[in-house]
Structure 1
Amino acid sequence: MAKKLYVGNLSYNTSEESLRTLFSNFGNVASAKIVFDRETGNSKGFGFVEMSSDEEASAAIAGINGREFEGRQLRVNEAMDKPRRDRDDRGYGRW
């Protein structure tokens, strides 16, 4: 089963391809996604990588967390499984 990892403290110049390459040293990368600001299009400095198995995800965490990459010390851990809010539900008018 695939395991999703949070990757924080990314350089604003990091590409999804370089992130995929970094994590591929620890197993099969199902997906690599950097989060961008919708208004400016700039990286927010974090992203998510999905590894194909729990073992590969554990190896990636052990091998990359705290490691310097593109001038930044990365933070890698298991992503929290938080349900996304509907973008239209901003909570306005709900008391």
Structure 2
Amino acid sequence: LASPLRCIATRGSCSSKLFVGGLNYDTNEPVLKNEFEKYGQVINVRVICDHMSGKSKGYGFVLFDSEEAVASALASMNNQLLEGRQIRVEYARPKGGLDQNKN
């Protein structure tokens, strides 16, 4: 049986994924990956862009291979400056977040 940690990292659950907000609109995925891979193995980086304009919406996600890397990156990078902007780093929430149960 696989360890719970391995299952979580393999599935790419929210405990191995960080939300990064407040990004400079010029910050791209290679820059984000370079900043976060200091804390552990980065599996995937995604900067969210507007579908019409193709421009960054100022936030993205970083997926790590371990909860330890996520915790280290969260503790080190939250409220830090990245390309002239103070970024907000927190655990990613499932799409829909807290509003899922409204009605």
**Range class of TM-score, shorter chain:** 0.7 to 0.9
Give the C-alpha shift of residue 30 in structure 1: 0.5
Larger radius of gyration: 1
* Displaced runs of 4 or more, over 6 A: none
Aligned residues: 83
Say whether 1:35 aligns with 2:48.
yes
The separation in 1 between residues aligned to 2:60 and 2:24, in whole angstroms, is: 11
Which residue of structure 2 lines up, in the alignment, with residue 60 of structure 1?
A: 73
Structure 2: gaps spanning 5 or more residues: 1-7, 10-15, 97-103
Higher helix share: 2
Which residue of structure 2 lines up, in the alignment, with residue 91 of structure 1?
A: none
State the Cα RMSD in Å. 0.9
Q: Could you tell me the TM-score, scaled by structure 1's length? A: 0.84
Q: Deviations over 1:10-31 (max 9, x none)?
A: 0001010010000000000000
The separation in 1 between residues aligned to 2:36 and 2:51, in whole angstroms, is: 26
Name the amino acid aligned to 2:78: N
| Identity level (%) | 41
> Secondary structure at 2:39's aligned position in 1?
coil
Say whether 1:16 aligns with 2:29.
yes
Name the amino acid aligned to 1:7: V
Name the amino acid aligned to 2:34: T
